[in-house]
Amino acid sequence: SNNTPKGIVIEKQGIFSSGGTVTAQGGVHAAGIGSGNASEWSSVTITGGTVEAIDPVRYICNRSSGKMGYEIARAAKNAGADVILISGNATAEPPTDIKFVKVKTALEMREAVWAEFDSADAVIMAAAVSDYRVKNVAAQKIKKTYATLSLELVKNPDILKDISSSRGNSDTLIVGFCAESENLLDNAIKKIQSKGCDFIIANDISRQDIGFNSDENEVYIIEKNLGIKKLEKNTKDKISEQILEEIFE
Ligand code: CTP
């Protein structure tokens, strides 16, 4: 199909339950788990939140658990992929058997993504990137000298947008996430159009039972042609398998 990078198909039927077999188009069997063969496809997953320094002891951060990205990386590995996981600050335990690149700031995250994205078949951008960073990071700990204090912030680069617009003619499939507290689908549609990625996975963060810091999620997958599919509430590992199946369909 059109979404298939380099002729790779992930079979819909039970690839994960059967131990993760990826089948190349034309029926040639590719590497499954533990087969010892080289991986047939590669993916880069980016997760966690960025950390932006204010002074040597304070920073701006967010509540990202990293779970969704970790589960996607695991699911991709189970489906035979060669996986790189780039992670900012995250409260969940990262997988230990996946190549792991730890980053702090949005600028560092961009560097790490930039180094890997072009050679990957799929890039899944699940990170909570700080939209802003402190313009002038104080070299010394800020004293409480004044009654009020303002921090001047400057915009961070939009990593998802930048990689989507610079992939040229490569087959790299790019998936973004979008976290919204209102008008979920409207905002998701606007976002896929402005970012230029192939898919957006839309998350409703106003709900306590799913998404941020939860083990479960319920998402909508929005395609570039604006097709929408709902993935019913499920554990993040199952949602991850379904997302991979959908994007490679
Ligand atoms: N993203 C990114 N770089 C940024 C901000 C966001 O790559 N500087 C990515 C996120 O990882 C996610 C997607 O863009 O895959 C959407 O993130 P989201 O926070 O929903 O949207 P924003 O682009 O930050 O827009 P806004 O805050 O205005 O809703």
- How many other CB atoms are there within 10 angstroms of residue 245's CB atom? 18
Q: Cα separation of 75 and 58, whole Å?
A: 35
Q: How large is the average pLDDT for residues 158-165?
A: 97
Who contacts 211 (Cβ-Cβ below 8 Å, separation ≥6)? 179, 203, 204, 205, 217
Catalytic residues: 62
Q: How large is the average pLDDT for residues 216-225?
A: 94
Cα–chain center distance at 157:
16
Q: How large is the average pLDDT for residues 222-238?
A: 95
pLDDT at residue 125 in the model: 98
Tokens of 105: 């700031």
Closest CA to 151 of 50, 51, 55: 55
pLDDT at residue 212 in the model: 75
Please report, for residues 69, 178, 188, 204, the alpha-carbon distance to residue 182 in angstroms, rounded to integers and kept in the order given: 23, 11, 10, 7
Is the confidence at residue 28, as pLDDT, over 50? no
The answer, yes or no, to whether any atom of ligand 1 lies below 6 A from the CB of 177, is yes
- How many other CB atoms are there within 10 angstroms of residue 230's CB atom? 11
Q: Which atom of ligand 1 is nearest to the CA of 131?
A: 8
The answer, yes or no, to whether any atom of ligand 1 lies below 6 A from the CB of 129, is yes
Best of 47, 51, 72, 178 to mutate for ligand 1, by most ligand atoms within 8 A of CB? 178
Q: Which atom of ligand 1 is nearest to the CA of 194?
A: 23
Is the confidence at residue 32, as pLDDT, over 50? no
Is the confidence at residue 196, as pLDDT, over 60? yes
Closest CA to 61 of 104, 99, 29: 104
Backbone angles phi, psi at 10, to 5 degrees: -95, 120
- How many other CB atoms are there within 10 angstroms of residue 116's CB atom? 18
Q: How large is the average pLDDT for residues 58-64?
A: 95
pLDDT at residue 170 in the model: 84
Residue 30 exposure: Cα atoms within 13 Å on the Cβ side = 23
Q: How far is the CA of 200 from the centre of ligand 1 (A)?
A: 11
Best of 50, 72, 110, 158 to mutate for ligand 1, by most ligand atoms within 8 A of CB? 158
Q: At how many degrees (to 10) do helices 67-78 and 236-247 cross?
A: 60
Mean pLDDT over the full length of the chain: 87
Q: Cα separation of 96 and 210, whole Å?
A: 25
Q: Cα separation of 8 and 224, whole Å?
A: 20
pLDDT at residue 18 in the model: 42
Burial tier of 209 (Cβ tally within 10 Å: 0-12, 13-18, 19+)? exposed
Model confidence, pTM:
0.87
Is the confidence at residue 30, as pLDDT, over 60? no
The answer, yes or no, to whether any atom of ligand 1 lies below 6 A from the CB of 244, is no
The answer, yes or no, to whether any atom of ligand 1 lies below 6 A from the CB of 160, is yes
Which ranges in the chain belong to alpha helices (H)? 67-78, 106-116, 159-165, 184-195, 236-247
The answer, yes or no, to whether any atom of ligand 1 lies below 6 A from the CB of 247, is no
